[in-house]
């Protein structure tokens, strides 16, 4: 497919490194077509990898967002969501992840990659076919089970998709397995590159949403709320499923008014039947990343100033009663308009479910399927 990415995306990278062994991959060939020659370098090892170290410093983290490395991934692509490793303390929604790269070209102040990544460069994995082979093994075994597979765990699913066009191959693959769901998760508005493949009801294009005020203050370099919603409307019209993740809700003095406005906006433009699911989450992050966040964003951010405490899952979270209040507020706001909105809490404890939403997910008819245990992979 002839699809030209925005010039601003190409210009946002200082340099693109192509692993010699990935030279003949489709994505490397596309990069060669799209980027100016002077920005491209072939390498035999990962740049800046000579010193293996722990957490990246602020300057290394910034640099890693501006340099791209095209390389094959040597590990297992298909994994359970990290939340599942804490299923003793968190309710697990059976999400699975397929990592086709790492790092993100956007810059949210709360981004968990700040404590997750130890690679000093953004990566796009060149061996999509190996990922699809892995998927095929799983689908051959469990074609009848409702597996949900997301590609947006350690990289935004769509913000670089204009370069890779991976969405197109994945959508086509998932068509063969209607019980399985492919989920793209994004804060971009980049969907035009695959719309012609619709309708594809088992592809869920999902947006992390926030109130406009928090998008402006904390989600740097992302699409505006209006552009995300416009893109969601395009996807619906083309026959894709759409989901929203109001996550992370961030406390700020006007949080009630601003999140109420967000819910009103969603309700004015979408019907409950339009939206596959809405997940809610409040701000949370690993304790180790707080110093890096302060170095990168100072203390004027609502995220670095947030009043956070160690929780059962070891992450820092708001006080439980504040979390419950925020969940109840947004949940009730949706449900007061229609009981048909399918809403669940992301990475939350059973106690929060009961306190904020009155019941465990297994007791909620509309969510039972989502939380039904699946075979471990």
Q: Do residues 251 and 318 lie in contact, with contact meaning Cβ atoms separated by under 8 Å? A: yes
Which one, of 127, 135, 99, 162, lies nearest residue 26 by Cα? 127
CB of 307 to another protein, least distance (A): 4
Instruction: Give the separation between CA 1 and CA 10, rounded to whole angstroms.
Output: 18
Q: Which is nearer to another protein, 53 or 271 (CB)?
A: 53
Residue 299 touches another protein, criterion: CB under 8 A: yes
Q: Nearest distance from residue 209's CB to another protein, in Å?
A: 24
Query: Closest separation between CB of residue 309 and another protein, Å?
Result: 4
Q: How far is 166 from 72, CA to CA, in rounded Å?
A: 14
Q: Which of 273, 319, 358, 369 contacts another protein by CB under 8 A? A: 319
* CB-count burial class (<10 Å; 0-12, 13-18, 19+) for 353: buried
Residues in the interface with another protein (CB under 8 A) total 27
Q: How far is the CB of 320 from another protein (least distance, A)?
A: 5
Give me the DSSP letters along 72-126: ---S-SEEE-GGGGGTTTS----EEEE-SEE--SSEETT-THHHH---SSEEEES
322 is a contact residue toward another protein (CB under 8 A): yes
- Which residues does residue 149 pair with via DSSP β-bridges, in sequence order? 96, 182
| Contact flag: residue 89 with another protein (CB under 8 A) | no
Name which of residues 45 to 74 contact another protein (CB under 8 A).
51, 53-55, 57, 59-60
Interacting positions 229-268 with another protein (CB under 8 A): 251
Q: Is 114 in the site for another protein (CB under 8 A)?
A: no
Q: 3-class DSSP state for residue 286?
A: coil
Site for another protein in 154-213 (CB under 8 A): none
Q: Which of 267, 295, 360, 362 binds another protein (CB under 8 A)?
A: 295
Q: Whole-number minimum distance, CB 144 to another protein, in Å?
A: 40
- Single out the residue of 307, 365, 375, 376 in contact with another protein (rule: CB under 8 A): 307
Of 129, 124, 171, the closest CA to residue 1 belongs to 171
Segments in 107-211 forming alpha helices (H): 113-116, 128-142, 161-164, 166-175
**Residue 72 region by backbone torsions, left for phi larger than 0, else alpha for psi between -120 and 50, else beta:** beta
Q: Which of 199, 201, 239, 298 binds another protein (CB under 8 A)?
A: 298
Among 169, 175, 294, 364, binds another protein (CB under 8 A): 294
Q: Which is nearer to another protein, 258 or 337 (CB)?
A: 258
Q: List contacts with another protein (CB under 8 A).
A: 51, 53-55, 57, 59-60, 251, 288, 291, 294-295, 298-299, 305, 307, 309-312, 317-323
């Amino acid at each position: 497919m002839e699809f030209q990415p925005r010039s601003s995306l190409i210009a946002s990278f200082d340099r693109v490194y192509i692993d010699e062994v990935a030279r003949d991959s489709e994505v490397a060939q596309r990069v060669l077509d799209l980027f100016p020659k002077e920005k491209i370098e072939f390498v035999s090892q990962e740049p800046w990898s000579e010193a293996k170290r722990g957490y990246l410093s602020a300057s290394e983290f910034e640099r890693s967002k501006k340099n791209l490395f095209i390389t094959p991934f040597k590990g297992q692509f298909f994994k359970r969501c990290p939340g599942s490793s804490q299923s003793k303390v968190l309710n697990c929604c059976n999400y699975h992840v397929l990592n086709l790269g790492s790092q993100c070209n956007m810059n949210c102040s709360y981004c968990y990659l700040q404590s997750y990544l130890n690679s000093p460069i953004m990566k796009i994995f060149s061996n999509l076919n190996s990922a699809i082979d892995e998927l095929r093994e799983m689908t051959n075994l469990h074609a009848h089970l409702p597996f949900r597979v997301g590609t947006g765990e350690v990289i935004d699913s769509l913000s670089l998709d204009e370069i890779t066009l991976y969405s197109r191959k994945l959508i086509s693959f998932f068509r063969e397995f209607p019980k399985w769901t492919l989920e793209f998760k994004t804060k971009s508005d980049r969907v035009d590159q695959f719309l012609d493949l619709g309708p594809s009801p088992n592809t869920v294009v999902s947006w992390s949403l926030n109130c406009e005020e928090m998008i402006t203050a904390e989600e740097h370099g992302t699409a505006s709320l209006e552009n995300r919603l416009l893109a969601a409307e395009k996807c619906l019209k083309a026959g894709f499923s759409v989901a929203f993740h109001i996550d992370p809700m961030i406390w700020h003095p006007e949080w009630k008014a601003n999140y109420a406005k967000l819910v009103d906006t969603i309700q004015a433009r979408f019907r409950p039947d339009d939206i596959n699911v809405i997940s809610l989450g409040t701000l949370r992050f690993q304790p180790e990343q707080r110093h890096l966040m302060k170095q990168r964003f100072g203390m004027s951010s609502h995220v670095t100033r947030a009043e956070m405490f160690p929780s059962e899952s070891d992450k820092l979270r708001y006080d439980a009663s504040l979390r419950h209040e925020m969940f109840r507020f947004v949940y009730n706001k949706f449900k007061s308009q229609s009981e048909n909105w399918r809403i669940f809490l992301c990475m939350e404890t059973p106690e929060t479910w009961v306190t904020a939403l009155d019941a465990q997910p297994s007791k909620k008819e509309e969510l039972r399927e989502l939380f039904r245990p699946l075979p471990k992979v």
